[in-house]
């Protein structure tokens, strides 16, 4: 009797995974402990082993597709055995560009939030509030191109935050490789981008600066360098 291959649940909070690579093809013999496929969550990529013996009869979830945990990804059984009809897995949402990582449980450096591709420019316009000007410069946005919602059309901080959120929610143009094929953003990168956008638009941000007189420290460093000790 054919046995289903289910999408594992790697973590308590994991609700879906992306199947990034099949290591066995239809018709290949399968033994206990063999790696069937590789999956990716919002935190890591990992290999999925089987506890079944037989032949891979069908692949239900294709490479690059995202499926809920415990969904049927394929079937194992005897060669030539009939496979029960299985609903196709839902297609993964259209992603922004990024290459899929190698299968290893590693952390990733969070990318900067997606913002409009407008080069930052010095801003001294009286119709831009100081807080909006500072956030715009940090985000690489030209605030003079934004429509202000403050008094007399003044650009305020919420206008810049809205521009950041709008840019993140719109599909970016996909750069192509040398062969002209678009690259798919990994599940982990999609979650990172979503969390960064939420952070910028829902959490207050502020900057603290401190002035320090380091003249004596610099003088000591100069003396140590002159003595060959630094």
Domain coordinates in residue numbering, the chain: 3-77, 130-202
Rounded to an integer, what distance in angstroms lies between the CA atom of residue 172 and that of residue 166? 11
| Cβ atoms of 101 and 108 closer than 8 Å | yes
Q: How confident is the model at residue 34, as a pLDDT?
A: 93
Beta strands 45-49 and 35-40: pairing type?
Answer: antiparallel
Q: 132: which 2 tokens?
A: 């909006």
Of the pLDDT bands very low, low, confident and very high (cuts 50, 70, 90), residue 153 is confident
Tell me the pLDDT tens digit for each residue of 69-93: 999 999 999 988 888 887 655 544 4
Pick the range with the lowest mean pLDDT from 76-85, 149-158, 196-205, 214-223: 196-205
Burial 191-203 (b: 16+ CB within 10 A, else e): ebbeebbeebeee
Mean pLDDT across 141-156: 86
Of the pLDDT bands very low, low, confident and very high (cuts 50, 70, 90), residue 216 is very high
Q: 3-state DSSP call for residue 179?
A: coil
Using the 8-state DSSP alphabet, how is residue 184 labeled? P
Of the pLDDT bands very low, low, confident and very high (cuts 50, 70, 90), residue 187 is low
What is the CATH class of 3-77?
mainly beta
- The owner of tokens 């801003």 is 123
Q: How confident is the model at residue 113, as a pLDDT?
A: 47
- Check whether 155 has a pLDDT greater than 80: yes
Count the residues in the chain. Answer: 230
Tell me the pLDDT tens digit for each residue of 25-60: 999 999 999 999 999 887 788 899 999 999 999 999
- Check whether 116 has a pLDDT greater than 50: no
The sign of the dihedral angle between the CA atoms of 136, 142, 147, 148 is: positive
Exposure of 7 in the CB half-sphere (CA atoms within 13 A): 26
pTM exceeds 0.85 for this model:
no
| Beta-carbon contacts of residue 221 (< 8 Å; ≥ 6 apart) | 230
């Amino acid at each position: 009797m054919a046995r289903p291959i289910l999408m594992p649940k790697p973590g308590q909070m994991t609700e879906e995974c992306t199947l990034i690579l099949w290591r066995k093809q239809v018709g290949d013999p399968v033994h206990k402990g063999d790696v069937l496929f590789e999956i990716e969550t919002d935190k890591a990529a990992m290999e999925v082993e089987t506890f079944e013996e037989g032949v891979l009869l069908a692949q239900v979830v294709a490479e690059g597709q995202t499926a809920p945990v415990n969904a049927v990804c394929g079937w194992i059984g005897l060669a030539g055995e009939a496979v029960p009809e299985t609903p196709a897995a839902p297609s993964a949402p259209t992603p922004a560009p990024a290459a899929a990582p190698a299968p290893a449980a590693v952390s990733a450096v969070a990318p900067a939030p997606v913002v409009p591709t407008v080069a930052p420019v010095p801003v001294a316009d009286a119709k831009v509030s100081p807080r909006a000007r500072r956030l715009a410069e940090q985000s690489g946005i030209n605030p003079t191109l934004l429509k202000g919602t403050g008094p007399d059309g003044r650009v305020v901080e919420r206008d810049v935050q809205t521009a950041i959120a709008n840019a993140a929610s719109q599909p970016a143009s996909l750069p192509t490789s040398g062969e002209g094929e678009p690259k798919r953003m990994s599940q982990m990168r999609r979650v990172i981008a979503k969390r960064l956008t939420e952070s910028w638009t829902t959490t207050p941000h502020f900057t603290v600066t401190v002035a320090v007189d380091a003249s004596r420290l610099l003088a000591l460093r100069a003396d140590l360098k002159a003595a060959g000790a630094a």
